[in-house]
């Protein structure tokens, strides 16, 4: 009940946000980050895109325009901590969950079900606050119950058997160059955030961001 009331209030307060533009940016980021771990389907027709914690389903239109079959599940539809997702084994190409993991006490069932419904080679894409940088106000949201750092999110995905796990700064508002083009050089030289020792990297490359993306593939 608390989560439902709080999320309704947040959506009401953000009514002026251009949800369509936000969806385009988020979907673009999913494609860009997915490409770094050698994943993104080239032919999307009839392929399933599952949005867990979909809220107002703001991603639906842009996902459908890209050829995917969109499936949105929210807390009104299912209990992520205990319920079996209403999808068959090995039936989904992409599972996306934006700003949901921090609201789940025990992510065991959630990640087990994500793994179950994904096809071999399917992509999981999660976002969550970076507790290492937002710890002073993380619990200002009364529905936040579990905190993650880049290392703990990476470890969690690996525990649940996801492969090619990687963590990226959640910089949806940054221009495309951050995720494309010469950014591949930054990645290779380990200058991106959370990659090796970036002690001597320029500050503008350290990507201090209040959110992180965790991605992985089911083998």
So where are the chain's domains? Answer: 2-217
pLDDT digits (tens, 9 = 90+) for 191-205: 444 443 444 444 544
pLDDT digits (tens, 9 = 90+) for 80-105: 999 999 999 999 999 999 999 999 99
The three-state secondary structure class of 212 is: strand
Determine the topology of domain 2-217 in CATH: Rossmann fold (3.40.50)
Predicted local confidence at residue 40, as pLDDT: 58
pLDDT digits (tens, 9 = 90+) for 126-160: 999 989 888 888 999 999 999 999 899 999 999 99
């Amino acid at each position: 009940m608390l989560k439902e009331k709080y999320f309704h209030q947040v959506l009401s307060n953000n009514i002026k946000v251009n949800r369509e533009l936000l969806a385009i940016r988020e979907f673009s980021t999913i494609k860009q980050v997915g490409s770094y771990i050698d994943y993104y389907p080239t032919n999307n027709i009839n392929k399933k895109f599952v949005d867990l914690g979909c809220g107002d389903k703001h991603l639906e239109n842009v996902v459908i325009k890209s050829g995917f079959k969109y499936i949105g599940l929210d807390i009104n539809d299912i209990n992520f901590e205990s319920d079996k997702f209403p999808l068959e084994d090995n039936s989904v190409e992409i599972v996306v969950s934006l700003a949901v993991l921090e609201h789940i006490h025990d992510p065991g069932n959630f990640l087990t079900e994500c793994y179950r419904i994904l096809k071999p080679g399917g992509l999981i894409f999660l976002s969550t606050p970076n507790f290492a940088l937002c710890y002073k106000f993380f619990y200002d949201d009364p529905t936040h119950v579990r905190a993650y750092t880049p290392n703990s999110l990476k470890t969690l995905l690996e525990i649940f058997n996801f492969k090619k796990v990687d963590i990226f700064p959640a910089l949806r508002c940054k221009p495309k160059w951050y995720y494309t083009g010469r950014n591949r050089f930054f990645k290779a030289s380990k200058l991106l955030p959370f990659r090796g020792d970036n002690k001597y990297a320029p500050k503008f490359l350290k990507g201090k961001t209040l959110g992180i993306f965790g991605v992985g593939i089911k083998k």
